[in-house]
Amino acid sequence: MIKAVLVLNTQGKPRLAKFYEFRPVEKQQELIRNVFSVLCSRAENVSNFVDAESIYGQDARLVYKHFATLYFVFIFDSSENELAMLDLIQVFVETLDKCFRNVCELDVVYNYSKMHSILDEIIIGGQVLETSSTEVIKAIEELSRLEAASNSINLVPKSVSGWRAR
Amino acid sequence: MNPFSMGTSLRDMIRAIRACKTAAEERAVVRKECASIRDAINENDPDYRHRNIAKLMFIHMLGYPTHFGQMECLKLIASPGFPEKRIGYLGLMLLLDERQEVLMLVTNSLKQDLNHTNQYIVGLALCALGNICSAEMARDLAPEVERLMQFRDPNIRKKAALCSIRIIKKVPDLAENFVNPAASLLREKHHGVLISGVQLCTELCKVNSDALEYFRKKCTEGVVKTLKDLANSPYAPEYDIAGITDPFLHIRLVKLLRVLGEGDADASDSMNDILAQVATKTESNKVAGNAILYECVQTIMSIEDNGGLRVLAINILGKFLSNRDNNIRYVALNMLMKAVIVDAQAVQRHRATILECVKDADASIRKRALDLVYVLVNESNVKPLTKELIDYLEVSDQDFKGDLTAKICSIVAKFSPEKIWYIDQMLKVLSEAGNFVKDETWHAFIVVISNASELQGYTVRALYKAIQTSTGQESFVRVAVWCIGEYGEMLVNNIGMLDIEDPITVTESDAVDVVETTIKCHSLDLTTKAMALVALLKLSSRFPSCSERIKEIIIQYKGNFVLELQQRSLEFNSIIAKHQNIRSALVERMPVLDEATFVGRRAGSLTDTASTPARPSVNLPNGVSKPSASPLVDLLDLSSDDAPAPSSSGSDILQDLLGVDLSPASQQSGAGHAPKSGTDALLDLLSIGSPTAQSSPSTIDMLSSSMNGKTPVSPLDDLSSLSLSARATSNAGAAPVMDLLDGFASNPPKHEDKGPEYPSITAHESSSLRMTFSFSKQPENPQTTVIQATFTNLSSNAYTDFVFQAAVPKFLQLHLEPASGNTLPASGNGSITQSMRVTNSQHGKKSLVMRLRIAYKVDGQAKLEEGQISNFPRGL
């Protein structure tokens, strides 16, 4: 089972944090800090696996991938295949790339809830839901379409903020 | 701020937070945002609810409290619009957890949404349920989820399948409801549904043995066929990763086969062919292909034995090991670790490659490889492996040395074919990475040296040679200094020369030079310096010609700022100056410690580390304490009868032997007794005991324990306290040295070898009465001790109306059983027994203590005896 999905930037700021097992907020932050301190000390050409037992507890493994200014981190237990998790990170990143057209850190920051929606189409409750980025994007597009179609009040704040931003 | 808008937009908030230069600025921005969100919540304004929760999600990620937004999430979920529901569910998953009662309120909304006509809303609800479902929700909503597994849209079916996993994990009783729908998912053609269906089946097999049986019987064949079709299927671009067809489905299917095949020969048999096909045909030049191979190897290792397949699997791992990709090597090492248990021989073939991985640049790989090498060591390969590891020790990273040293020491201790080899290897490790060697390891090394009388000369000469070049390693210096002190004359006279040695010329003053350099070296710590002082004292007797010079060195420390060194200096000086007659006896060689006992004790103490008090000792920073008795302290058993309760500190045999016990071990005890002062009194006392077995380190030990005593040093205080704790502990051990001096004690503890765990003690003895205690414990209840008290009449008159009473401090609970009688015949012609049960709530922290009162009548005359028992064996 996947226990957590984290996206951190190279300064250690969390950009996405999703825990599939309950953890109090303070623990989550502590974990993020610990993960970052391990990741930033690793060299460029080493393996993508880190023993996470000291960070997350018994039987925890961690796999990460480094893209530009972001670390994508999956924490999971021994029932998952490490190499498959590495591929899953790839799927997640590919999906983001297709959604945002060359994803960058700013996209991730400003589209926080969309990131969550995408992740929810890939993983539910720590289990892998879908591994095809095309399928995921189809689902996300449906959501966006519905969102736009419904006569929503969220147009109001947008216009207000647009007016204020000037 | 704009008076018409409720705070800023999400984008503006993120922008403001990003613009913060310091954490304090960020806190201020977040505080302001939270305040305005709270206001909005209080006004119950529905228009901005959606945006506020989106903001709170972001704030939550940054680690700020957001609990006040929980109810808003519920309101959003209950609202009809899709965007509101979407944010509501996202917020629910992030801001809430299954422990919170708010979750009870959401069940109804979830139920409605699971039955919603809009399938995307159903999807949102399923997703939320899959992430945060609690046991109560699982029971309430399981029928809906079960129904949705047959929903027409595949996207809902796959979500429902994963949601069911959460449900059966929360409430395993519900598993049987899901078996049939799960089995039908295995026949799905839709990729996503199939993958989640396979996962659901795997989980069902884990939580429910009936389900496992069912799937094994009905579905094994189907799964094998699906995998076969998949392996033979043509290219399918949408699920393709780097040219491998749908690796995820491959992996999930192979994993399900593992669950089905484990422990069942028939099922294992039916999947052999396809596993062999996957293992041989999958391309291994891509991560995705290797992921499948890796899963396949795991399955082959877990299912029922098939020799051919296993060889294939181990060979795949061997191939992984030589792969250039670090990730592949990492998983190979992981897997070999498991394979060792199944087939150690096959793994041994890859030993050389694994050893190379220990030297890898990647810390993750190094650690795995080292663990694996450790498992692979046996008697036949220990020598070359150790050589490789020690060679590597020289060049390894600092942060890897700790692990590496610990493993080497453990290997060397476990498999050493002969003592001289062990000594050689330990010397190398200590001189190379002594700072990483744990205290108990070099303690054990010293025990081995002291036992190997024929190798002592060799060892001390080797140490002498090595210390000329290596002085930075603390524990190496300690061992060297200790050996030079103990075996100094062997060093200078080339005693016990082995054939392989080159003779060396060392003068007495050379040996003293080494110790002097040590004591003057600023980088070495107090313990080492104290050991060096002891070594000097010993050498002063072994090398009479250097006696004056040693005295000069020692006297330099009489004004040292460190009390410990100052005190040692003064005492040793007085021993050298005034007590020539007993000096040689004082500094005799340490009695040999029994290796087996020491190792056994160490094992024992390691197992109950948790329950024993970690003494505040300077040189045991890792908290490994040793609860065992100290024979050496026992040597000084000059028993004082009426001393207060002993401190709970343990006396560690080796600490005392080495004279390095700098901890204020006995600080709680003894103050205020026999307030005489002056070293002379102490020395007199020491010389009462045995002229042969006394040794200076123990003297030091006693003295050092007075470190914490206030004002004038009154060694007698410590003597009384020490002998007291000696009595308290003397019964626990069985080292032969222990009894040496018991005869001199005024009130010797009796050793009875009956109890396997705790020997009996004489709890109370007067001219007229003796009371012995024997102990027993139930292993499952370590706190409780059953004490069997036996009373014996030592006088010539019979006692009547015999009553024994006992009282214990608050941390103990005492339950007295009725006594076997109330008359005690004269002259030991019979006894009364009485058992009691003591429960120690501070077990492992405090020892037992007990006050007693014994009333009886002799010829109608009432007598009363009182006392305190503080010599209970440790660990009760």
CATH of the domain at B841: 2.60.40.1230
Contacting residues for B762 by C-beta, under 8 A, at least 6 apart: B747, B749, B750, B770, B771, B772, B773
Question: Of B552, B586, B620, which one is at a domain's C-terminal end?
Answer: B586
Q: Which residues pair with B785 in a beta bridge?
A: B777, B838
Question: Residue A124 is nearest to which of B90, B118, B162, comparing CB atoms?
Answer: B162
* Residue B850 near residue B825, CB atoms below 8 Å: no
User: Least CB-CB distance to A124: which of B9, B163, B252?
Assistant: B163
Query: Is B735 in the same domain as B770?
Result: no
Q: How many domains does chain A have?
A: 1
| Record: contact A86-B287, CB cut-off 8 A | yes
Please answer whether residues B723 and B641 qualify as being in contact, where contact means their C-beta atoms are separated by less than 8 angstroms.
Answer: no
Which residue has tokens 């591929």? A87
Nearest CA in chain B to A29: B63
Residues of B in contact with A47 (CB under 8 A): 326-327, 329-330, 362, 364-365
Q: How far apart are CA B148 and CA B162, in angstroms?
A: 11
DSSP B397: -
Residue B143, number of CB atoms within 10 A of its CB:
13
Tell me whether residue A80 is in a domain.
yes
Q: Say if A35 falls within a structural domain.
A: yes
pLDDT of residue B659: 45
Interface probe with B: pick from A124, A133, A150, A153, most Cβ of B within 10 Å: A124
* CA B359 vs CA A51, B237, B314: distances in Å: 18, 40, 22
CB contacts < 8 A (A, B): 199
From A72's Cα to the closest Cα of chain B, the distance in A is: 15
For B629, residues 6+ apart whose C-beta sits below 8 A from its C-beta are B651, B653, B729, B730, B731, B732, B733, B735, B738, B874
| H or E stretch covering B108 | helix B102-114
Which residues does residue A128 pair with via DSSP β-bridges, in sequence order? A123
Distance CA B520, CA B525 (A): 11
- pLDDT for the residue numbered B122: 92
Residues B559 and B652 in one domain: no
- Cβ-defined contact of A128 to B239 (cutoff 8 Å): no
Beta strands in B138-216 (DSSP E): none
Chain A residue with CA closest to B296: the answer is A81
CA–CA distance from B596 to each of B69, B291, B445, B451 (Å)? 64, 48, 13, 11
Residue of B nearest to A46 (CA): B362
Identify each DSSP E strand in B732-811 by its residue range. 761-765, 769-778, 781-793, 799-807
Which burial class, exposed, middle or buried, applies to B4 when counting CB atoms under 10 A from its CB (0-12, 13-18, 19+)?
exposed
How high is the pLDDT of residue B750? Answer: 42
Pair B768, B823 in one domain: yes
Alpha-carbon gap: A104 to the closest alpha carbon of chain B (Å): 15
What sign for the dihedral angle of Cα A146, A148, A150, A152? positive
Instruction: Supply the pLDDT for residue B602.
Output: 55
Best to test chain A binding among B18, B22, B51, B61 (most A CBs inside 10 Å): B61
Of B8, B123, B327, the CB nearest to A47: B327
What parts of chain B have a pLDDT lower than 70?
Answer: 1-7, 97-100, 234-244, 471, 596-757
Note whether B701 and B774 are same-domain residues: no
Contact between chains at B364 and A134 (C-beta distance less than 8 A)? no
At residue B561, the pLDDT reads 84
Residue B241 CB neighbours (<10 A): 22
Question: Token match 């597994």: residue?
Answer: B149
Q: What is the dihedral of CA B442, B448, B453, B454, to 10 degrees?
A: -90
Nearest CB to B97 within list A15, A22, A32: A22
- Amino acid B543 reads F
Q: Which two tokens stand for residue B524?
A: 């070495």
Residue B330 lies in a domain: no
Reported as a single tens digit per residue, the pLDDT across B233-278 is 765 555 565 566 778 888 999 999 999 988 888 888 888 888 888 8
Residues of chain B found within 8 Å of residue A131, distances taken between Cβ atoms:
195, 239, 246, 248-249
Please indicate whether, in this complex, the C-beta atoms of A117 and B90 are within 8 angstroms of each other.
yes
- The answer to whether the Cβ–Cβ distance between A87 and B241 falls below 8 Å is yes
Q: Which residues of A touch B251 (CB under 8 A)?
A: 81, 84
Give A61→chain B minimum CA distance, Å.
Answer: 11
Boundary-marking domain end, from B532, B552, B586: B586
Domain with A95, as residue range(s), is 2-151
In a domain, A159, yes or no: no
Amino acid B433: pLDDT: 84
Q: Compute the Cα dihedral for B348, B354, B358, B363 and give only its sign.
A: negative
Residue numbers in A near B302 (CB within 8 A): none
Q: Assess whether B736 and B613 both reside in one domain.
A: yes
Are residue B737 and residue B765 in the same domain, yes or no?
no
Identify the residue among A9, A131, A136 best suited for mutation to test binding to B, counting B beta carbons within 10 A and taking the highest.
A131
Q: Whole-angstrom Cα distance, residue B446 to residue B234?
A: 68
Q: Which amino acid is at B37?
A: I
Q: What is the pLDDT of residue B7?
A: 63
Same domain, B579 and B620: no
Q: Do B158 and A16 touch (CB under 8 A)?
A: no
Domain boundary among B528, B552, B586: B586
Q: Which contacts (CB < 8 Å, 24+ apart) does range A16-19 have?
A: A16/A108, A16/A112, A16/A115, A16/A116, A16/A119, A16/B61, A17/B61, A18/A116, A18/A119, A18/A123, A18/B94
Nearest CB partner across the interface for A29, out of B63, B294, B364: B63
Which three-class secondary structure string do you get for A123-143? EECCEECCCCHHHHHHHHHHH
Q: Hey, CA dihedral for A77, A83, A88, A93, is it positive or negative?
A: positive
Q: Are residues B445 and B582 in the same domain?
A: yes
In this prediction, residue A5 has a pLDDT band, given cuts at 50, 70 and 90, of: very high
> Collapsing DSSP states into helix, strand and coil, what is residue B212?
helix
Structural domain contains residue A166: no
pLDDT digits (tens, 9 = 90+) for B574-602: 888 887 777 777 777 777 777 766 665 55
- In angstroms, the separation between the Cα of residue B51 and the nearest Cα of chain A is 8
Instruction: Report residue B857 CA to chain centroid gap.
Output: 55
Q: What does residue B502 show for φ and ψ, rounded to 5 degrees?
A: -90, 135
Q: Are B755 and B775 in contact (CB under 8 A)?
A: yes
pLDDT at B865: 84
Of B443, B478, B383, B484, nearest in space to B595 by CA: B443
* Residue B548: how many other CB atoms lie within 10 Å: 10
Nearest CA in chain A to B292: A84
The CATH number of residue A42's host domain is 3.30.450.60
CB-CB: which of B166, B238, B294 is closest to A125? B166
Closest CA to A75 of A133, A32, A139: A32
Q: How far is B842 from chain A (nearest CA, A)?
A: 29
Alpha helices in A80-132 (DSSP H): 82-100, 105-110, 112-122
Query: Both B774 and B825 in a single domain?
Result: yes
**Record: contact A161-B248, CB cut-off 8 A:** no
Helix, strand, coil % (nearest 5) of chain A? 50, 20, 30
For chain B, the domain total comes to 3
Note the pLDDT of residue B530: 87
Same domain, B790 and B713: no
Of A51, A125, A152, the CB nearest to B130: A125
A87, B288: Cβ pair inside 8 Å?
yes
Q: How far is A69 from chain B (nearest CA, A)?
A: 15
Question: For residue A28, which residues of chain B lie inside 8 Å, CB to CB?
Answer: 63
Whole domain around residue B766: which residue ranges?
761-869
Residue B402, domain member (yes or no): no
3-state DSSP call for residue B116? coil
The verdict on B673 and B546 lying in the same domain is: no
> Shortest CB distance from B51 goes to which of A135, A147, A154?
A154
Residue A85 DSSP label: H
What distance in Å separates the CA atoms of residue B51 and residue B43, rounded to the nearest whole number? 15
Judge if B766 and B835 occupy the same domain.
Answer: yes
3-class DSSP state of B862: strand
